[in-house]
Chain A
Amino acid sequence: MSTSKQALFTPARVTAEGPPTSSPARVVLSVQDVSISYLAHRGRVRAVSQVSFDLRQGESLALIGESGCGKSTLNLGIIRLLPKTGRVDQGKILYTARDGSIVDVLALSDREMRAFRWGECAMIFQAALNSLNPVIRVRDMVYDTAEAHGRHDRARIRNRMLDLFRKVRLDAERVFNAYPHELSGGMRQRVLLALGVLLNPQVVILDEPTTAVDILTQRTILEVLKDLREAMGFSIIFISHDLSIAAEMADTVATMYAGEIVEIGPVNELFYRPRHAYTLGLLQAVPKLSAGAQDLSSIPGSPPDLIEPPSGCKFHPRCPFATERCRHEPPPLIEDAPGHRVACFESERVLAASGPARQSTHRLD
């Protein structure tokens, strides 16, 4: 059973503007050995297999990886909103409430689950443009949300919401009474962010929070997110294709490949000393403003079939470091450096090769 002990890693404070947390902060969400599959015509698709990680209070965890690697599925699994064909096959998701009690999210009743969603763990979806009901006003969605969680004092809700809208730099009164179509994409994303923290959740999951908005809006949203986090101290799990945003926002980064976490560690460790060939490949695929197109590399091949995944390490068919061993034996996720776990037999060779990759990671600011 791999549910026993998680290798503990302390979130490194890489961003000076992060929220002040007393270290070591307590674990808020502990995902243990979770596997999720979808039923397809050809069989079960193992979208997430045996994923484990701990999320600490105030920590920001970024999940990176190609499309279809299981990032979104994992998050939908956490709030149990998988499509009808999906199901959690095994594992535990332990959540520590503010009063210190620990519950397994997967064992909650429907009613408890409804209270957990948004009240304890809010999820902001990527298609913010379409996340708001087009036929009702923002304020009705706000009241809906609050009343679903037993808060009926409309005046108080309203004041709190207006306050949060101002925090995310919105014209609070106008937005509160507006219909979604009267707001721009960036405004809607901020409405959703503010609505996400209305009930003061401990965990906020952001699925591609900055996709589909332009670069300036993206900047505003990130700043607003930082402000909110500073003020409220919630933990964040966020999914991103954009490594520069991950580098900016995250304390911890987890690389996912074919439904597994293949490498997880403090952001600087992972980005400057990657030990998994796939992470290295992702970093080398980041375009640099200063370089020409010829320096851009990509990872050859395509993501594996998740119904019949390759034997051994799932990445071996695409991996330049692969050996005979990789083809037969799946590498375990073990701690290579303090707080830095990796599932790769050739991690030392990858690390040695990652020297040039250091320059490729650049920060937006």
Chain B
Amino acid sequence: MEITSTPPVAPSEAQAALARPVAWWHAIRRALTSYTAQTIIQGFFTVWAVMTFTFILIRQMPSNPVQIETERLIREEQLSYEEARSKAAALFEFDPDQPVIEQYLEYLARLIRLDLGKSITSTGTPVMDQILQYLPWTLFSVGLGLLISFTIGIFVGMAMAYWRGGAFDNIVTALASILFGIPNYIIALLIILILGVQLHVFSVANTLGRVDPTIEPGFMLEYIGSILSHAILPVLTYVAATVGGWILTMKSSTLSTLGEEYVTVAHARGLPQRRVLTAYVGRNAMLPLVTRLAISIGFVVGGSVIIEDVYRYRGLGKFLTTAIVARDYTSMQGVFLVIAISVVVANILADLLYGVLDPRVRIGKER
């Protein structure tokens, strides 16, 4: 018989062949249960949940793109409702009567191919292109603001904790609390009113927008200078609105670190003040702020809708406002998706960074 005639295979080899799928299965399971994989899976799930939620919410808003356009046509071109309606419907590749679930499934199918679809109101323009056009400006202005604010907060907060109870501490605490309490759009308006209109520190007309449109874009000093000078006001506003929070957090964190035994012991060991302040106080006091920083970085992408509106700074926030007004579902959806992804990614980065800074939460084996 065939079976008996087969020469006896070395048992070990047979076992190995048999064990191979098992080993594979183990490897897959190990990979899936590893911390990194779990974090990534969790991240995907979060993004999907946010996307679905916003998808439904957006379509629950009163009116829709066709409706808005119809109203505009009636208002501006004096068309009858039927005429306006058919013109608007012809203009957009969007059918408001399509069931939401169908729209959702179509969107999901495109999203899997990393396609955010096309803008409804700017017919034919891919949402991805729009986002890529506005995103860098927001990243630049809000990111710069965050970086400056965080740096000031760390140093000033530490200095205050170190000289606690002194005049410096008292004055800055009061200022920081006031700044922390004022909403950022009020600060933006105050800056325009006081510095621009009253004191004429800058010309309001010239600083609005994100760059002087008469200057040819390029890697030239003039163009870069224009970018910077237009970014000053939004950046100043972001810094003013957030620096108080960083200062106060850093101060309380430093105060509690200064009370730690290991700081006293470091002094008892005769370490120079400089070393104690950096490696012993500073590093430990900064730990809780790192998480906050990373989460803030996630929100940088969303920018500040109102601030960009006040300064006519055409970043992603301004784009989002325009999309919301026109009920451009796909554009809104795209922006929300980008924000969700960046917040999730920032959180993962915060986790990893925290692990680098604090060995107690470091994951995995080192040796």
Interface residues of A (CB under 8 A from B): 79, 81, 114-119, 122-123, 125, 127, 130-137, 140-141, 144-145, 148-149, 179, 181, 192, 195
Contact = CB atoms under 8 A, between A and B. Distances in A.
B285 to A, nearest CB: 11
Given A117-B270, A145-B271, A136 B279 contact: yes
A133 B272 contact: no
Contacts of A115: 270
Nearest to B261: A130
Nearest to B280: A133
22 contacts: A81-B268, A117-B270, A118-B269, A125-B265, A127-B261, A130-B262, A132-B265, A133-B262, A133-B280, A134-B284, A134-B360, A135-B359, A137-B359, A144-B266, A144-B275, A144-B279, A145-B269, A145-B270, A148-B275, A149-B270, A179-B359, A181-B359
B177 interface: no
B270 A116 contact: yes
Contacts of A133: 262, 266, 279-280, 284
B20 interface: no
Contacts of A148: 269-272, 275
Nearest to B259: A83
A35 B106 CA distance: 82
Interface string B279-305: 110011001000000000000000000
Of listed B261, B262, B267, B280, residue having the most chain A CB within 10 A: B262
A295 to B, nearest CB: 37
B264 interface: yes
Contacts of B262: 130-134
Nearest to B265: A131
Contacts of B267: 81, 117
A141 to B, nearest CB: 8
B129 interface: no
A133 B261 CA distance: 9
B321 to A, nearest CB: 43
B270 to A, nearest CB: 4
Nearest to A128: B261
Contacts of A179: 359-360
Contacts of A145: 269-271
A133 B278 CA distance: 12
A125 B269 contact: no
Contacts of B280: 133
B222 interface: no
Nearest to A120: B270
Given A134-B284, A135-B357, A135-B358, A117 B268 contact: yes
Contacts of A81: 264, 267-268
Contacts of B359: 134-135, 137, 179, 181
Q: Closest 7 interchain pairs by CB? A: A117-B270, A130-B261, A114-B270, A179-B359, A118-B270, A131-B265, A118-B269
Nearest to B260: A130
Contacts of B279: 133, 136, 140, 144
B268 A123 contact: yes
Nearest to A146: B269
Nearest to A182: B359
Contacts of B271: 114, 144-145, 148
Contacts of A195: 269
Of listed B265, B283, B357, residue having the most chain A CB within 10 A: B265
Nearest to A119: B270
Contacts of A144: 266, 269, 271, 275, 279
Contacts of A192: 265
Contacts of A130: 260-262
Contacts of B275: 144, 148
Given A118-B270, A119-B270, A148-B269, 15 more contacts: A79-B268, A116-B270, A117-B267, A117-B269, A118-B268, A122-B268, A125-B268, A130-B261, A130-B262, A131-B262, A132-B265, A135-B287, A135-B357, A135-B358, A195-B269
A136 B279 CA distance: 8
Contacts of B264: 81, 125
Contacts of A181: 359-360
